[in-house]
């Protein structure tokens, strides 16, 4: 995938250890493991909130900027041990964050905790998604007297609306009712873990189920995470999906699934294409096998004349299953002509331009690609700038004879308002060449023009029908908005109309106030 084309989502986690369990007090250990296994969903910050009725601070939150190991100080055993000891408990939630809004500031890290003297009004939560009607909800809040937003992000909006919903009651309310009312207010995507000072826990998923959320049990301990690989890596064998419009509710008894809203499934196709870990399973569909099928579908379209000098190079790392399957289907070798530098993290000296960033992130093997016809397989092209520089890198540094680009995702032709960092039409590569929304495939003449723009010898995309077939879910159960222009929620449709209108006026501003995570 293009290095800086789009950014990862956030990841949420929840752990509940029963009283008297042999692992009593070890919730931080498990939260740490879950977050570490979801690091790919967020590298900006990490945090946890734990509940311990034996502490004065019944629920206590620890969060900071950095990768999970940096936040938990694992390179400094004494400091790390202090963190684990201070936040020792049986119940806890966790979060890893990548933001398309807010600042690189600790105050934007999650979970968000809201203090109150009454225990059922004192809560903390972590959130993965994007509230599409943020601007409307913000305006409603600020019209009321004495409301003020500090971070001005949708996580803060959720906190205020949760507080308002709890404040309607004179005694501790039924949390199913609370989330039922919130589902009528929020438009967009939200997978959310919640913990209050009574020890009640919730893992809730929006009615469309846009972002993933799974749960499971091992030796009586309940685990929740954004992805199944995190649960597998702590030993959970049977992993279940929190259905759209449902919540896993924990309150001292056996955890139970409760429905709070009617389901209208619209699972984000991009989770399978790029975001999710290749080792995860979502909606009972293996991410690895979906990517493999995407490669096979892409190979069915191939018209390029192939010979012994033709090599396939998957762009590391998320495109490798698709690239390998594409190559196998065509009887071509799949080689590592681009080697990813896995030790390059966030840095202030990446270089001034995209080409320098590509060279810092990848090494090209000239011995492999020189004088060869190279077919690079990527999972997606959003803004196109990184793809252009990879092509340039292979030709100039690798001395490849030809470079052809194959993309396992259809052209991205519309913005996302559900948590992916692409909310303007003008920034999308494919829209510079075609205004025809919802097509199954682009005309050959358009593809030739696009290939010339990125310096490639040819360009071919996955079809929408091929994408749906590879995922293996009904088309109506998927959010395909970014490749069809058809949005699953009212505010998605509204923001899309506004985005197209602004593009018509030449605006490059984001369509809505940045709200993701």
Separation in Å, CA 431 to CA 89, 251, 382, 437, 485: 51, 50, 10, 9, 11
User: What residues contact 319, with CB distance under 8 A and at least 6 apart?
Assistant: 1, 291, 377, 378, 379, 408
User: Which residues are CB-neighbours of 388 under 8 A, at least 6 positions away?
Assistant: 354, 453, 454, 455
Torsion angle of C-alpha atoms 37, 249, 266, 123, degrees rounded to 10: -70
| Catalytic machinery residues | 10
Distant-in-sequence, close-in-space partners of 480: CB < 8 Å, separation ≥ 6:
269, 464, 467, 468, 486
Contact 206, 244 (CB under 8 A): yes
Query: Residue 109: which of 174, 65, 148, 172 has the closest Cα?
Result: 65
Collapse the DSSP code of 78 into the 3-class scheme (helix H, G, I; strand E, B; otherwise coil) and give the result: helix
Whole-number Cα distances in Å, 116 to 119, 122, 138, 197, 331:
7, 5, 22, 9, 64
Q: Where are the beta strands (DSSP E) in 367-504?
A: 373-378, 402-407, 458-461, 478-479
- Cα-atom radius of gyration of the chain, to the nearest Å? 23
Beta bridge partners of 393: none
Q: How many CB atoms lie within 10 A of CB 118?
A: 13
C-alpha to C-alpha distance for 53 and 56, rounded to whole angstroms: 8
C-alpha angle 63-67-71 in degrees, rounded to nearest 5: 40
What pairs with residue 285 in β-bridges? 282
β-bridge pairing 373-378 and 402-407: parallel
The answer to whether the CB of 297 falls within 8 A of the CB of 241 is: no
Considering only the C-alpha atoms of the chain, give the largest distance between any 2 of them, rounded to a whole number of Å. 76
């Amino acid at each position: 995938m293009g290095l800086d084309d789009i950014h990862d989502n956030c990841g949420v986690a929840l752990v509940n250890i029963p009283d008297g369990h042999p692992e009593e007090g070890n919730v931080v250990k498990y939260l740490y493991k879950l977050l570490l296994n979801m690091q790919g969903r967020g590298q900006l910050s990490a945090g946890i909130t734990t509940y311990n009725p034996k502490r004065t601070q019944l629920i206590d939150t620890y969060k900071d900027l950095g990768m999970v190991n940096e936040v938990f100080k694992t390179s400094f055993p004494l400091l790390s041990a202090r963190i684990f000891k201070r936040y020792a408990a049986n119940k806890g939630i966790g979060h890893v964050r990548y933001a398309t809004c807010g600042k690189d500031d600790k105050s934007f890290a999650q979970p968000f905790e809201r203090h109150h003297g009454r225990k059922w009004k004192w809560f903390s939560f972590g959130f993965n998604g994007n509230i599409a009607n943020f601007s409307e909800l913000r305006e409603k809040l600020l019209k009321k007297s004495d409301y003020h937003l500090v971070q001005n992000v949708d996580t803060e909006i959720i906190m205020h609306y949760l507080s308002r919903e709890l404040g309607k009651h004179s005694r501790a309310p039924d949390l199913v009712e609370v989330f039922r009312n919130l589902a009528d207010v929020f438009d967009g995507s939200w997978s959310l873990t919640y913990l209050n000072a009574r020890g009640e826990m919730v893992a809730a998923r929006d009615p469309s189920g846009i972002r993933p959320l799974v749960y499971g049990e091992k030796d009586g301990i309940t685990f929740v995470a954004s992805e199944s690989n995190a649960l597998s890596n702590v030993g959970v064998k049977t992993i279940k999906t929190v259905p759209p419009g449902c919540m896993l509710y924990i309150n001292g008894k056996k955890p139970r699934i409760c429905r709070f809203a009617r389901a209208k499934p619209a699972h984000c196709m991009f989770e399978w294409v790029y975001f999710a870990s290749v080792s995860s399973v979502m909606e009972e569909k293996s991410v690895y096998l979906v990517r493999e099928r995407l490669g096979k579908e892409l190979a069915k379209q191939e018209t390029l004349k192939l010979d012994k000098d033709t090599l396939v190079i998957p762009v590391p790392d998320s495109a490798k299953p698709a690239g390998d399957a594409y190559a196998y289907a065509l009887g071509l070798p799949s080689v590592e002509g681009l080697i990813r530098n896995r030790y390059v993290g966030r840095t202030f000296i990446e270089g001034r331009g995209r080409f320098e960033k590509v060279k810092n992130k990848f090494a090209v093997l000239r011995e492999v690609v020189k004088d060869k016809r190279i077919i690079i397989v990527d999972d997606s092209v959003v803004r196109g700038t990184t793809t252009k520089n990879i092509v340039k890198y292979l030709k100039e540094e690798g001395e490849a004879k030809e470079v052809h680009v194959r993309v396992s995702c259809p052209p991205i032709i519309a913005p996302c308002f559900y948590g992916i960092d692409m909310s303007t039409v003008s920034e999308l590569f494919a829209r510079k060449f075609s205004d025809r929304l919802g097509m199954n495939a682009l005309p050959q003449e358009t593809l030739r023009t696009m290939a010339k723009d990125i310096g490639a010898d040819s360009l071919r995309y996955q079809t929408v029908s091929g994408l749906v077939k590879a995922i293996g879910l009904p088309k109506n159960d998927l959010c395909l908005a970014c490749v069809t222009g058809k949005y699953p929620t009212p505010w998605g449709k509204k923001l899309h109309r506004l985005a197209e209108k602004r593009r018509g006026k030449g605006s490059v501003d984001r369509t809505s106030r940045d709200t993701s995570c």
